[in-house]
Amino acid sequence: MPGIQAVAQLAGVSTATVSRALSGKSNVSEKSKDAVLSAAKELGYVVSSNASSLATGRTRNIGVVVPFLTKWFYTSVLEGAESALLSHGYDLTLYNLAGGGDERRSVFEHFLLRKRVDAVIAISLELTPKELTGLLALDKPVVGVGGPLRGVHTLSIDDVAVAQLATEHLLSLGHTSIAHIGGTKDFERDFHLPTNRRIGYESALEAMGIPVNPGLFRAANFSLEGGYDAAKQLLGSPRDRPTAIFAASDEMAIGAILAARDMGLSVPDDISIVGIDDHELSAFFGLTTVAQFPELQGRMAAELLLDQLHPETRKPGSINTALPFDLVVRSSTARPRSGR
């Protein structure tokens, strides 16, 4: 296999320039970088990870910790992060915490401390003080996605504002009897997502002078099946049936659409439904939703991490960055029927 000297000779640059260009450093001109990449490709040169690690003290490997891999949202954030990291020549080691408390302790107390990684991304995990202390003791960059973490650069979504926007959309259409499918403390997730989305829903109603009706709330587990069961309970009585449902996730909202159809109700003529996420199936079901762009979240997290790994190009910024969200109106919401 050809060595770095052969690449340098073919590209017409020094071996130091080859090393900088292939490691993704910024102090290389585009012309030299293109020449190095072209020469490396022509010669079939592959950088030795061991040699690179010895020379730079870095592994070019990022540890990513996620609570689940079975949920569309988390895998979408992961895809965005992986795409950005790979484009900069970084590998990714994934730690899935779906196994529970013992697995979580093993990851934070052993694997991340033992594994040679240059940095860590924590996706939708509200890290404990002990976990944070252990990660920060590595003296390597840490980025959190989902909510604020003390002393860590984070990307946060305002779940109260997201829920307010979804509920306000229904209010703007003229709905006043709006049900909510969300989570209770039994379904509490990191950064109190179910509670904050319920607060946003209730705040939007109260701002319009509409009293919160506890009878219009049903708890579910953020799954399609959970949304289906909850919607059947809400829609079962024609006397007390709401004209609209705000579900705290798209999967629950899609479950509600299926429940309404099974009960012979038309969406949106009989019931309007809105969710949160912009799930990959939302457009197929015509679901109005608040998009929170999970792939973009992953890319932003990776870019923030890379910015810390390369201080020579670091841009000043806040330790906590607000994530974007936007209302996407489709066919599942409309004005309530006259007289309802």
Q: Supply the CATH classification number for the domain 159-291.
A: 3.40.50.2300
Confidence of residue 198 (pLDDT cuts 50, 70, 90): very high
The correct CATH number of 4-56 out of 1.10.260.40, 3.30.300.30, 3.30.429.10, 3.90.1150.10 is 1.10.260.40
- Please give the share of the chain, as a percent, with pLDDT higher than 70: 88
Tell me the two tokens of residue 198: 């319920």
Q: What is the pLDDT of residue 337?
A: 86
pLDDT at 176 over 60: yes
Confidence of residue 187 (pLDDT cuts 50, 70, 90): low
Tell me the two tokens of residue 210: 């509409």
pLDDT at 267 over 70: yes
Q: What interhelical angle do 250-262 and 224-235 show, nearest 10?
A: 50
The correct CATH number of 61-156+294-309 out of 1.10.10.10, 3.40.50.280, 3.40.50.2300, 3.10.20.30 is 3.40.50.2300
Write out the residue limits of the CATH 3.40.50.2300 domain(s) in the chain.
61-156+294-309, 159-291
* pLDDT, greater one: 178 or 103: 178
Give mean pLDDT, residues 85-113: 82
Buried b (16+ CB within 10 A) or exposed e, 156-176: bbbbbebbbbbbbbbbebebe
Q: Which of 80-94, 139-153, 214-228 has the highest mean pLDDT?
A: 214-228
Q: What is the pLDDT of residue 54?
A: 38
Q: Torsion-angle region of residue 57: left (phi > 0), alpha (psi -120 to 50) or beta? A: left
Is the pTM higher than 0.85? The answer reads: no
* pLDDT, greater one: 333 or 150: 333
Taking the C-alpha atoms of residue 50 and residue 58, their distance in angstroms, rounded to an integer, is 9
